[in-house]
Amino acid sequence: MTKRVRSVVAVIALGGLSAAALAGCSSPSAGTSDGKVSIQIGDRPSADRPEDRAYFDKRVEAFEQANPDITLEPVETGYDASTFQALAAGGSLPTVMSVPLTEPAGLIKRGQAADLTDALKNEGLLDSLNPTVLKLAENSEGRAYAIPTNAYSFGLVYNRELFTKAGLDPDSPPTTWDQVRAAAKKIHDATGAAGFSVLTTANTGGWQFSGMTYSFGGTVENEDGSKATFDDKPSTQALQLLSDMRWKDGTMPENTLYDIPTQGQDFAAGKIGMIIGASDSYYNIVQNLKLPAESFGIGGMPQLKGAEGTLGGGTVQIVDPKASAEQQAAAVKWVKFFYLQRFLDENTAVEDAKASNEAGSVTGLPGLPVVNSDQYSAYFDWIKQYINVPSANFTPYLGASASIPVVAEPVNNAQEVYGALDTVVQSVLTDQNADIPSLLSTAQTDVQSRLSR
């Protein structure tokens, strides 16, 4: 080959390579052809969770058998705050995927979620869903833009063994903050463990503190999210309580930088008596971190006096608004099949619970129901023999959930608000002389300037 020919060949080869590389970037699009609908579904478990992945794939297969007109294309894309908007911008979001309940308000405003009201009606889901949870996924006109598939509300997670050692009754956990303070003292005196602890980093501090504010009867934002409203008495009282427990009673841990994993480790190791959490904390604390199941206790969120409120959230499924009507309908069908069918149909419930129990997964964990209460209790009746969690330990939580109102997370820029409140909580826990009113007013001014941007 002459020099010139060689270089031309090289150019063509290189050009071909880069063209191939660029072509590899374009995403496949789900579409319709000859009456068949094809959709992308998110949240397929990654390969490091082989059992969950196998179960997911089996359900996909079963769905396609039951709906021969629908082809599913499972992808691993799940919700991640740092990549979600970029994925949305690049048009790479699957047709249907999970997002946290904090998101629908913003997604509806930006036109990033499809109106599912009619599809839900067609599937007979609209009346089966828990109305208080569904409300969080609706716009102001009552149109539903997301389907709740998992919900939680804050409660008080406690170590029953430490309770017994401290002479407290593990079957009746504290229901007011005064009782929490007293119980924390007893636990600390009797066992040396910290009585109570809160999260403080990665925005979880603000998240839990919002829950505390609600339980003191306060709010964090006004209803339409245009104003920050936490610079008031309830938040002050909540911070004062933390300050007193940390500095006067010495019943909170030395570590003031907790995220969920690190706090979970110390709780499961018996170093902390009580934390704020929901019933799904069970997965982290018992299943992963091996606190004995019988030591796991959960009560309702402690309150100021009666039933002021508790923070609730969860997971919803959203559907791509750019998908065709047939695709949207297929997506709702999948959501019903995979997430909700077990609450609506006895055979599915039993089959599902049996498989889960035999695989050794947590089965029959009580929580805030996403379906209405009749359906929910029927479900637990159906799967009774497969439940493998100590159901009785959840009784105080379920009892309280019935009476304490569930308050939604801040609707506007929740994560920013939480970030600012992280700092406030950290200040109170690291500085004995922290000036609570000025901390709150500074944080409120800060948050307000961001809300109005």
Partner 1 sequence: MTDLDERPRTAARTAATPARPARRRRPWRPGLTALLIAAPAILVYAYFSWGPILSSLVMSVQRVVLTGQSDFVGWDNFAYVLSDPGLPQATANTVLYTVLAIVFGFPVPLALAVFISEMRSRAWYFSALAYLPVMVPPVVAILLWKFFYAPDADGLFNTVLGWVGIGPLPWLNSPASAMPSIVLETTWAGAGTAVIIYIAALTSIPGELYEAAELDGAGIWRRVWHVALPQMRGIIGTMLLLQIIGTMQVFTEPFLFTGGGPQGATKTLLMTIYDYAFTRVDYGAATALSVLLALVLGLFSLAYFRLTRSWSRS
Q: Please state the φ and ψ torsions of residue 408, each to the nearest 5 degrees.
A: -70, 160
Inter-residue long-range contacts of 294-297, CB under 8 Å, 24+ positions, other chains counted: 294/160, 294/390, 294/393, 295/159, 295/160, 295/161, 296/157, 296/159, 296/160, 296/390, 296/393, 297/157, 297/158, 297/159, 297/160, 297/163, 297/170, 297/173, 297/393, 297/396
Nearest CA to 439 among 163, 447, 226? 447
State the nearest-atom distance from the C-beta of 256 to partner 1, in Å: 5
Under rule CB under 8 A, residue 85 binds partner 1 = yes
Stretch that binds partner 1, among 57-65, 212-220, 224-232, 415-423 (CB under 8 A): 415-423
Under rule CB under 8 A, residue 54 binds partner 1 = no
Write b or e for each residue in 222-235: b if 16 or more Cβ atoms lie within 10 A of its Cβ, otherwise e: eeebeebbbbeebb
User: Strands (DSSP E) along 36-154, which ranges?
Assistant: 36-41, 70-74, 96-100, 147-153
Q: Which is nearer to partner 1, 102 or 159 (CB)?
A: 102
Q: Kindly tell me which residue out of 128, 263, 413, 444 binds partner 1, with binding defined by CB under 8 A.
A: 413
Under rule CB under 8 A, residue 21 binds partner 1 = yes
State the nearest-atom distance from the C-beta of 184 to partner 1, in Å: 17
Q: Which is nearer to partner 1, 88 or 365 (CB)?
A: 88
Q: Which is nearer to partner 1, 128 or 413 (CB)?
A: 413
Determine whether 282 is exposed, middle or buried from the number of CB atoms within 10 Å of its CB (0-12, 13-18, 19+): buried
The site string for partner 1 over 285-324 (x = CB under 8 A, - otherwise) reads ----------------------------------------
Q: Kindly tell me which residue out of 278, 429, 436, 440 binds partner 1, with binding defined by CB under 8 A.
A: 429
Residue 122 tokens, joined = 């067609």
Q: Kindly tell me which residue out of 36, 110, 290, 384 binds partner 1, with binding defined by CB under 8 A.
A: 110
* Chain Cα centroid distance, residue 277: 11
Residue 348 tokens, joined = 């599915």
Q: Which of residues 342-401 bind partner 1 (CB under 8 A)?
A: none
State the nearest-atom distance from the C-beta of 249 to partner 1, in Å: 17
d(CA 77, CA 79): 7
Stretch that binds partner 1, among 108-116, 177-185, 229-237, 399-407 (CB under 8 A): 108-116
Stretch that binds partner 1, among 34-42, 106-114, 276-284, 397-405 (CB under 8 A): 106-114
Residue type for 324, please?
S
Under rule CB under 8 A, residue 132 binds partner 1 = no
Stretch that binds partner 1, among 85-93, 183-191, 222-230, 310-318 (CB under 8 A): 85-93
Under rule CB under 8 A, residue 10 binds partner 1 = yes
Identify the DSSP state of 270.
Answer: T
d(CA 365, CA 380): 9
Nearest CA to 293 among 354, 360, 378? 360
Q: Which is nearer to partner 1, 49 or 110 (CB)?
A: 110
Q: Which of residues 164-203 bind partner 1 (CB under 8 A)?
A: 200-203
Helix (H, G, I), strand (E, B) or coil at 2: coil
Handedness of CA 440, 445, 448, 453 (dihedral sign): negative
Q: What are the residues whose beta carbons fall under 8 Å from the beta carbon of 272, sequence distance 6 or more? A: 159, 193, 194, 195, 196, 197, 253, 263, 266
Q: Which of residues 253-272 bind partner 1 (CB under 8 A)?
A: 253-257, 259, 262
Residue 297 tokens, joined = 């206790």
Nearest CA to 334 among 180, 176, 147, 93? 147
State the nearest-atom distance from the C-beta of 35 to partner 1, in Å: 31
Under rule CB under 8 A, residue 98 binds partner 1 = no
d(CA 157, CA 155): 6
Q: Kindly tell me which residue out of 2, 18, 140, 433 binds partner 1, with binding defined by CB under 8 A.
A: 18
* Chain Cα centroid distance, residue 184: 27
Q: Total binding residues for partner 1 by CB under 8 A?
A: 47
Stretch that binds partner 1, among 26-34, 169-177, 329-337, 417-425 (CB under 8 A): 417-425
Q: Which is nearer to partner 1, 202 or 350 (CB)?
A: 202
Q: Which is nearer to partner 1, 209 or 338 (CB)?
A: 209
Q: What is the binding site for partner 1 (CB under 8 A)?
A: 4, 7-8, 10-11, 14-15, 17-18, 21, 81-82, 85-86, 88-89, 110-112, 200-203, 253-257, 259, 262, 413, 415-416, 419, 422-423, 426-427, 429-431, 442, 445-446, 449-450, 453
